[in-house]
């Protein structure tokens, strides 16, 4: 029974070696918000405005 888990454990270990522990995607290199105060957009228009300007900020989505 214990030997049946061995291939699964080896596969999990090998996939970590291949893909690494890094998150893929747009925000993969993001290190944090620095000292920017978080903002909570109340609607989609406010979110668009936050995303389109050049001000550094942390945007928190509740929904």
pLDDT in tens, 12-38: 776 666 566 665 677 666 777 788 889
Say if 18 falls within a structural domain. Answer: no
The confidence score (pLDDT) of residue 50 equals: 95
Asked if residue 43 is part of any domain, the answer here is yes
Tell me if 23 is assigned to some domain. no
Q: How many CB atoms lie within 10 A of CB 20?
A: 9
Q: Are 37 and 58 in contact (CB under 8 A)?
A: yes
Find the domain containing 50 and state its range.
35-63
* Structural domain contains residue 58: yes
Q: Does the residue 2 lie in any domain?
A: no
Let me know if residue 25 belongs to a domain.
no
In the chain, what is the straight-line distance between the N-terminal and C-terminal CA atoms, in Å? 44
pTM: 0.48
Question: Has residue 53 been placed in a domain?
Answer: yes
Domain total in the chain: 1
Query: Domain for residue 54, yes or no?
Result: yes
Residue 52 above 90 pLDDT?
A: yes
Q: How many helices (H) and strands (E) would you count in the chain? A: 2, 2
- Going by pLDDT thresholds of 50, 70 and 90, the confidence category of residue 45 is very high
pLDDT (mean) for 33-50: 91
Cα–Cα distance, 11 to 36 (Å, whole number)? 41
């Amino acid at each position: 029974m214990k030997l049946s888990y061995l291939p699964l454990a080896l596969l999990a270990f090998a996939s970590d070696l291949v893909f690494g522990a890094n998150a893929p995607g747009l925000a993969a290199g993001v290190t944090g918000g620095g000292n920017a105060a978080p903002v909570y957009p109340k609607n989609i228009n406010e979110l668009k405005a936050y995303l389109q300007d050049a001000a550094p900020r942390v945007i928190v989505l509740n929904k």
